[in-house]
Amino acid sequence: MQPHALGLRALHAAYREARLTVQDYVQALNDRIAALEPRIQAFEWFEPARAMAEAEERSGGILKDLPLFGVPVGVKDIIATRGIPTRMGSRIFANHVPGRSAGLVRRLEALGGIVMAKTVTTEFAFRHPGKTHNPWNLAHTPGGSSSGSAAAVAAGFVPVAIGTQTLGSVIRPAAYCGVVGYKPSFGAISRDGVFPFSKTLDHVGVFARSVEDAAWFGACLMGIDPRDEATGIRAGMRSLSVPLGPLGHAPRLAVVKTPKWSLASAAQQANFTESVANLKDAGALVREVPLPPAFNEAWNVVGAIMDYDAARGFASLESRHRLQMSPPLTELLDRGKRITPEQHAKNLARRDEYRRWLDGLYDGCDAIVTIPAVGEAPAGLGNTGDAVFCSLWTMSGLPAITMPSGRGPRGLPLGLQIVGRYREDERALQVAAWCEAVLGVRMGLAGD
**Catalytic pick among 101, 145, 190, 405:** 145
Residue 164 near residue 280 (C-beta atoms within 8 A): no
Residue 189: DSSP 8-state: B
**Catalytic pick among 76, 118, 183, 260:** 76
Contacts of 425-428 with CB under 8 Å at 24 or more apart are: 425/184, 425/185, 425/188, 425/218, 425/237, 425/238, 425/240, 425/399, 426/215, 426/238, 426/239, 426/240, 426/241, 426/244, 427/247, 427/366, 427/367, 428/367, 428/399, 428/400, 428/401
346 catalytic, yes or no? Answer: no
Indicate the angle between helix axes 211-221 and 103-110, nearest 10 degrees.
110
76 catalytic, yes or no? Answer: yes
**Catalytic pick among 149, 169, 198, 210:** 169
Strand pairing class (72-76; 114-119):
parallel
Q: How far apart are CA 33 and CA 25, in angstroms?
A: 12
Q: What is the CA radius of gyration of the chain?
A: 20
Length of the chain: 448
Q: Is 392 helix (H, G, I), strand (E, B) or coil?
A: helix
∠ CA 336-173-381, rounded to 5°: 80
**What are the C-alpha distances in Å from 442 to residues 49, 174, 438?**
32, 14, 12
Q: How far apart are CA 142 and CA 178, in angstroms?
A: 10
β-bridge mates for residue 156, sequence order = none
Strand pairing class (400-407; 285-288):
unpaired
∠ CA 137-141-146, rounded to 5°: 120
99 CB neighbour count, 10 Å cutoff: 7
Q: Is 231 helix (H, G, I), strand (E, B) or coil?
A: helix
Which run of H or E residues covers position 250? none
Strand pairing class (285-288; 252-255):
parallel
213 CB neighbour count, 10 Å cutoff: 26
Catalytic positions, written as ranges:
76, 145, 169
